[in-house]
Amino acid sequence: MKSTSLRVIDTNVLLVANGQHENTSDECMIACIEALEKLRESGGIVLDDGYQIINEYQRNTSPNSGQRFGDAFLKWLLQNVQNRKYVELVTILPHPERGYESFPDDGDLIDFDTQDRKFIAVSVVHGHRPKICQGTDSKWLIWSEKLARHGINVEFLCSADVQRFFNRKINNQ
């Protein structure tokens, strides 16, 4: 697999592809579906070998039904998780304060969502630091600049939607 095509996929990409995220534009849903389809066709998915990411996907989708695109993607991923043509597995080690050894030791990231730290840890441990595909979680807008200082890049599949959700949060505070 080419290191430039490798990706870590945040759970919300599957949820948006499933139509499970309210107020998401059709363009965003299409972008998430296309990103998952591209990864399914060409490979390049990076996951943790403890299956924390896959377990989160399973808690939030219905892969057995395979009716929605995110569900079908997860079903395919479960069938191919050991196929190195499509998936690369890495080991992420726990850390008592940061959650994971590979999560950056950076005070600016102290408020980073503990549930999302596994995606960062997987990217860092991989070595090529694959981009993290992000659908609609607007918190990542703030974190993306801080993560970039550590060579961790976020690929926003739905920039307009993310910005809209971010602006709404800011205006409601």
Task: Please give the domain boundaries of the chain with CATH numbers for all domains.
Answer: 3-171 (3.40.50)
Cβ proximity of 21 and 135 under 8 Å? yes
Which backbone phi and psi does 156 adopt, to 5 degrees? -85, 110
pLDDT-derived band at 173, boundaries 50, 70, 90: low
Distinct helix (H) and strand (E) counts, the chain: 7, 7
Give the mean pLDDT of 136-155: 94
Which residues have CB under 8 Å from 32's CB, separation 6+?
Answer: 13, 14, 16, 17, 70, 135, 157, 158
- pLDDT tens digits, residue range 116-143? 999 999 999 998 999 999 999 999 998 9
List, for residues 38-68, the tens digit of each pLDDT value.
Answer: 999 988 999 999 999 999 999 999 888 878 9
pLDDT confidence of residue 87? 96
What is the band of 92 on the pLDDT scale with cuts at 50, 70, 90? very high
Distance CA 40, CA 107 (A): 36
Provide the whole-model pTM: 0.94
The Cα 171–Cα 12 span in angstroms is 23
